Amino acid sequence: MIDDLDRIEQQGRERIASAATLDELRGVEAAILGKRSELATLKKCLADLLPDERRQAGQALNAVRSRLAAALADRRHELEDRERAERFSAERLDLTELTERRRRGHLHLVTQTRDRLEDLFIGMGFTVAEGPEVETDWYNFEALNIPPAHPARGMWDTLYVEHGAEQSTLLRTHTSPVQIRVLQAQQPPIYSVMPGRVYRRDTPDASHLPVFHQIEGLVVDRGISMAHLAGTLEAFTSAYFGGSIHSRLRPSYFPFTEPSAEYDINCIICEGSGCRTCGQTGWLELGGCGMVHPNVFAAVGLDPEEWTGFAFGFGIDRLALMRHGIDDLRELFTNDVRFLEQF
Ligand code: PHE
């Protein structure tokens, strides 16, 4: 029996040493220590020995068993270390190499999208304006026909800044306050777009981020109608998405426009026939729009009898997603170079 044990230990050690992966090692472990191993069979034979011999052989068997178990554990650590090192080198991002090869980076997809949108609207005769990200309640809400405690405030989950009177200062929840700043700073006619970062108290998921980007549009002139709004958005849609994608307006509500509409485009995945991305409707929602409310003109001292206008606001990040068929907004800000390099 002692001879058997020596042989079993010797063969066991050889098999352990030659296991090249963790998977193989698991197989070896079952074969040499498992229920159907030679050791297990020998153990059953102990019962047939005389008490003295049984004790001696039993001790020898247990010793072999624990030496093999220790050898297995050592080998497992070795293989784990090796597999981890291999994974690290496979997933490694060598950023120094990028500069050695003189490869240049490029603008982030959201910045590219914003630039493209600005270019498109400039081509259509618009100017570009910007406003602050920290706003007062008056610009973000009141001047936009949303008085304190108005139920429509619930449409925007607001992040407040500790400054001045309580809830008087906030991170802008949309780019619409820039409409007010533009109206204060210049006389109509106005044809402006206003891109920028906005903030909402939202938990990040595939379609929401607490920090995202919008582009606002504002047109104020004499005799502007809903037809101008629809025509402008349709022209924008084919310029941005190409001629096969069209837009529609769907009745909606915003306090600062009347009438208000949701701006939808044909689903860019199925082009209107219905798929998962558009929930089988064939349409994707891009943003809000409408005719500037007379109270907004009143807030900046313009005569609503003389001036008419339209406004719109879209999510820039969403526009980037749709144009490139990305399905999770969070990808844009995880900033994995391997993802960003594609655009
Ligand atoms: N500011 C609105 C929002 O963020 C969108 C909008 C802009 C609607 C302009 C109408 C006119 O939800």
Report the pLDDT value the prediction gives residue 100, as an integer from 0 to 100. 61
Tokens 């991305």: give the residue. Answer: 277
Which backbone phi and psi does 275 adopt, to 5 degrees? Answer: -150, -175
Residue of 174, 232, 296 best suited for mutating to test ligand 1, as the one with most atoms within 8 Å of CB: 174
Percentage of residues of the chain with pLDDT beyond 90: 59
- Would you kindly state where each structural domain of the chain is located, as residue ranges? 2-92, 109-340
What is the β-pairing status of strands 257-266 and 247-254?
antiparallel
* Segment 137-149, tens digit of pLDDT: 999 999 999 999 8
Residues in the chain, how many?
A: 343
Q: Do domains 2-92 and 109-340 have the same CATH topology?
A: no
The Å distance, Cα 208 to ligand 1 centre, comes to 16
Question: Looking at residues 85-108, what average pLDDT do you find?
Answer: 78
Which backbone phi and psi does 309 adopt, to 5 degrees? Answer: -170, 175
Residue of 179, 229, 256 best suited for mutating to test ligand 1, as the one with most atoms within 8 Å of CB: 256
Please give the residue that has the higher pLDDT: either 93 or 123: 123
CATH class for the domain made up of 109-340: alpha beta
> Ligand 1: which atom is nearest the Cα of residue 156?
12
Report the pLDDT value the prediction gives residue 296, as an integer from 0 to 100. 98
pTM of the model: 0.72
> Ligand 1: which atom is nearest the Cα of residue 176?
1
CB 114 within 8 A of CB 316: yes
Report the pLDDT value the prediction gives residue 109, as an integer from 0 to 100. 95
In CATH terms, the fold of domain 2-92 is Methane Monooxygenase Hydroxylase; Chain G, domain 1 (1.20.58)
What is the β-pairing status of strands 190-199 and 127-128?
parallel
* Segment 163-204, tens digit of pLDDT: 999 999 999 999 999 999 999 999 999 999 999 999 999 999
Residue of 214, 254, 286, 292 best suited for mutating to test ligand 1, as the one with most atoms within 8 Å of CB: 254
DSSP-derived 3-state class of residue 199 = strand
The Å distance, Cα 214 to ligand 1 centre, comes to 9
Q: Is the pLDDT of residue 233 over 80?
A: yes
Q: Whose CA is nearest to atom 9 of ligand 1?
A: 312
Q: Whose CA is nearest to atom 7 of ligand 1?
A: 313
- Which of 262, 243, 257, 246 shows the shortest CA–CA distance to 297? 257
SS (H, E, C) 289-343: EEEECHHHHHHCCCCCCCCEEEEEEEEHHHHHHHHHCCCCCCHHHHCCHHHHCCC
> Ligand 1: which atom is nearest the Cα of residue 288?
8
Q: Whose CA is nearest to atom 8 of ligand 1?
A: 288
* Segment 7-20, tens digit of pLDDT: 988 998 999 999 99
Q: Is the pLDDT of residue 42 over 70?
A: yes
- Which of 137, 210, 180, 147 shows the shortest CA–CA distance to 292? 180
> Ligand 1: which atom is nearest the Cα of residue 214?
4
The Å distance, Cα 176 to ligand 1 centre, comes to 6
Task: State the Cα–Cα distance between residues 225 and 308, nearest whole angstrom.
Answer: 8
Question: Within 13 Å, how many C-alpha atoms sit on residue 132's CB side?
Answer: 10
Chain centroid offset of residue 59 CA: 61
Instruction: Show the ligand 1 pocket: residues with CB < 6 angstroms.
Output: 174, 176, 216, 254, 257, 260, 287-290, 311-313
- Which of 202, 149, 141 shows the shortest CA–CA distance to 172? 141
Q: Is the pLDDT of residue 261 over 90?
A: yes
Residue 99 pLDDT grade (very low, low, confident, very high; cuts 50, 70, 90) = low
Quote the mean pLDDT of the chain.
91
Q: Whose CA is nearest to atom 4 of ligand 1?
A: 174
> Ligand 1: which atom is nearest the Cα of residue 313?
7
